[in-house]
Amino acid sequence: MNWKPKRYSHLTIHDQIVDWVKSRIERGDWPVGTKLPTQRQLAAEFNVNRSTVQLALDELKADGLIESKVGAGVFVANNSWNMFLDKAQLNWNQHIESSIYKPNYHTIQLINEHEQMDRIIRLGTGELSPDLLPAKQIEQSLKEISLKPKAIGYSSPQGSEKLRVTLCKYLKSRGIETAPENILIVSGALQALQLIAIGLLEKESIVFQEQPSYLNSVHPFQSAGMRMISISRDAALTNNLRKFKRKRQSVFYCVPSLHNPTGKSWSMEEKKAVYNACKELQIPIIEDDVYHELAFETPASPIKSIDTSGQVLYIGSVSKTLSPGLRIGWVVAPSPVIERLGDIKMQTDYGSSAFSQEIVAHWISSGLYETHLIKLREQLKRRAAFVEAILERDFQRAATWKRSEGGFYIWLRFREPIVNKALFLNLLHHNVLINPGYIYETKDLHHIRLSYAYATLEDLKKGLKILLELVENRHRRG
């Protein structure tokens, strides 16, 4: 909301707020059933007292434009449009509720809403701190990039050939032998998952995953009508895959290097076991490998490096290492798969940013990227050690954890099942934002995905102190 009441208007502040809300309803910006922001949010946005907001809302309620629902909030009333000269309003909520794509969990909606607020301490964010992004170096590198007119137009369905050729050389260092025609440039790893969901699988296909899983916090497969099944990587893996798969189309999604949210990595033996089980049953593997460059020690080679049957769809990205704003990732897969996904991508966005592709190609080919990664890993290692020292000193009675292997996260497990919506909201009230375990596994009330990658060291210290105080107060009350 960019609107604010004018201090020197002939109308009072509360009258201006009333008129503004009426205009939002009349224009259809807020259809019937829309939930209004809270009084606290409106007061903060308008820079006025809550009493002024409450006075305006009371007038709107008296006019029948909005209504309160106990425990739920304030909503645009069903009869609101009777106030506007018999205008008929399209019921957008009906369209929204019957649409294909599933909404995020409310907790995730709140996370997305609050992450960009400066006052918030972000303890769970899967993103690098602005201080860790090479903004100055990227700015300097723009002077070194020679752009040809064709290069900044629409690219081919598979993306910039220059970038794909560069990636072939880069991926070889990971043990992946591929060709430009087997690479698709995408707008981040999440788009890769969305393209795979709608381009390669039929409805009611089975998506196998470990638990907890990043896929439970986003819905690319669920919204496409897929069935999610959590499975353990134990001695019964092959039999369990066979039992659940039956004659259904299926895929196995995994993050073997620095798993999201737990931060754990598979050994090469574990990777081979999953590959062989899936190969036997003809189950494609989606290998999400966006964190491997941030491992503190040399990670095991990816599953794709041992793939001799073309069944591994390999996903990489620079969003976790160079810049999420560039929106550049890639998929390595057999040619028919790449052609299919490229066709669908052209139908959705007509190609990823040409400028971003040029920047990434330059950074990887020039060696800037590898130099940046060396420095970034050291910075993340220091941040991890800083947080682990606080945990060792203050959290041993309340929680357990394992030392970070790299990436962004520590999977913090509280001894008691206290990580619920109430704790999340209480922390948010104290301007601390967490990623609770239940957004990755519905029944998980023990874990927090603790990120050391975004908040400043001072904010990490402050946020962890608030977290511990709230947890201890809750324990004393219990």
Domains, the chain, ranges and CATH?
Answer: 13-89 (1.10.10.10), 106-130+374-476 (3.90.1150.10), 133-370 (3.40.640.10)
Is the model's pTM score more than 0.85? no
Instruction: Spell out the residues 6+ positions from residue 116 whose beta carbon is closer than 8 angstroms to its own.
Output: none
Q: Strands 206-209 and 183-186, how do they pair?
A: unpaired
Residue 153's pLDDT is: 79
Do 17 and 3 meet the contact criterion of CB atoms below 8 Å apart? Answer: no
What is the rounded distance in angstroms from the CA atom of residue 296 to the CA atom of residue 316?
18
Amino acid at 67: E
The count of C-alpha atoms lying within 13 angstroms of the C-alpha of 391, restricted to the half-sphere facing its C-beta, is: 20
How many angstroms separate the Cα of 308 from the Cα of each of 202, 283, 303? 25, 14, 10
Residue 88's pLDDT is: 54
Do 313 and 341 meet the contact criterion of CB atoms below 8 Å apart? Answer: no
Burial class (CB in 10 A: 0-12, 13-18, 19+), 80: buried
Residue-by-residue pLDDT tens, the chain, 478 positions = 678 898 888 888 989 999 999 888 888 888 888 999 999 999 988 989 999 999 999 999 988 889 999 888 999 987 765 555 445 556 777 777 788 888 888 999 999 999 989 999 999 999 999 999 999 999 999 999 988 887 777 888 999 999 999 999 999 999 999 999 999 999 999 999 999 999 999 989 999 999 999 999 998 999 889 999 999 999 999 999 999 998 899 999 999 999 999 999 999 999 999 999 999 999 999 999 999 999 999 989 999 999 999 999 999 999 999 999 999 999 999 999 999 999 999 999 999 999 999 999 999 999 999 999 999 999 999 999 999 999 999 999 999 999 999 999 999 999 999 999 999 999 999 999 999 999 999 999 999 999 999 999 999 999 999 999 999 987 666 5
Provide, for the chain, the percentages of residues in helix, strand and coil under a 3-state DSSP scheme, each rounded to the nearest 5. 45, 15, 40
What is the rounded distance in angstroms from the CA atom of residue 243 to the CA atom of residue 245?
6
Do 65 and 83 meet the contact criterion of CB atoms below 8 Å apart? Answer: yes
Residue 85's pLDDT is: 46
The count of C-alpha atoms lying within 13 angstroms of the C-alpha of 405, restricted to the half-sphere facing its C-beta, is: 22
